[in-house]
């Protein structure tokens, strides 16, 4: 069983919430992964820097630009992860766009992911209609593709997408790019409830979540959260206590509405 599927099954069984932090690959990658595992992250999403992102807001874009300027490459990231994988037990998920994968070669990319102990992939620019170019390779290697649904996805499509995976469903909480926000649309809770009503997978909310109160709010409606821009801001400020506060907020059990 894939590590992501295993940990999500355990959380659901125990009525616990998931917390998945996003970090940008580059400097201090090993130290950041080790810290987040110790802090209690359910899984860790590792972004690959890309020159032309379509879903990333300004904080993640700046982090990606710095990472590229420092010479970070997809192959280099995977080999760094391979070196530390024997001592890291938390599920690791690569978030990247398709261009770097195509440049490396799909088969070679999956082989490198498998050797590195990668558990999942998030590919924001790959619609389900085109995922056959990579999904069979990933499935054969036991690597889970984490699929996204949005506020504008019809329920029929959400149900169709949720049936394709065995890890979790990534529910995007805003119509737009990533980035910390003060609040969310009043109808978001109802939307997340609808997603859960048709999803055969645990549902994690992501985009814009930036405070312990946001974490607790989202966890009333779904099975956990994914936090990116705020994690990067806190890492840049060396505010590790702020990250621990976010993770600890996810440990407060809610009765789902």
Active site positions, annotated: 45, 56
Instruction: Answer whether 203's CB lies under 8 Å from 169's CB.
Output: yes
Can you read off the two tokens belonging to residue 25?
């690959």
Torsion angle defined by CA atoms of residues 180, 186, 191 and 196, in that order, rounded to the nearest 10 degrees: 80
- In the chain the first and final C-alpha atoms are separated, in Å, by 30
Compute the distance between CA of residue 239 and CA of residue 244 in angstroms, rounded to an integer.
9
Q: DSSP class of residue 202? A: -
What's phi and psi for 42, nearest 5 deg?
A: -70, -45
C-alpha closest to that of 234 among 242, 222, 226: 242
Compute the distance between CA of residue 225 and CA of residue 216 in angstroms, rounded to an integer.
9
């Amino acid at each position: 069983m894939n590590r992501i599927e295993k940990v999500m099954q355990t959380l659901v069984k125990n009525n616990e919430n998931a917390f998945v932090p996003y970090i940008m690959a580059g400097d201090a990658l090993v130290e950041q992964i080790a810290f987040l595992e110790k802090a209690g992250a359910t899984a860790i999403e590792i972004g690959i820097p890309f020159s032309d992102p379509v879903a990333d807001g300004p904080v993640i874009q700046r982090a990606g630009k710095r990472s590229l300027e420092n010479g970070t490459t997809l192959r280099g990231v995977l080999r760094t992860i391979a070196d530390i994988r024997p001592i890291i037990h938390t599920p690791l998920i690569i978030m990247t766009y398709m261009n770097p994968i195509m440049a490396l070669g799909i088969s070679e990319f999956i082989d490198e992911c498998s050797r590195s102990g990668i558990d999942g992939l998030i590919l924001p620019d790959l619609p389900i209609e085109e995922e056959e170019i990579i999904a069979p390779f990933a499935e054969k290697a036991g690597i889970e593709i984490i699929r996204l649904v949005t506020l504008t996805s019809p329920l029929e499509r959400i149900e169709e997408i949720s049936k394709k995976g065995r890890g979790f469903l990534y529910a995007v909480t805003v119509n737009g790019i990533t980035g910390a926000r003060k609040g969310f649309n009043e109808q978001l809770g109802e939307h997340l409830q609808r997603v859960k009503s048709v999803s055969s997978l645990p549902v994690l909310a992501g985009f814009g979540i930036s405070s312990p109160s946001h974490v607790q709010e989202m966890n009333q409606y779904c099975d956990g959260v994914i936090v990116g821009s705020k994690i990067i801001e806190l890492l840049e400020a060396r505010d590790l206590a702020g990250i621990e506060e976010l993770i600890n907020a996810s440990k407060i059990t809610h009765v789902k509405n």
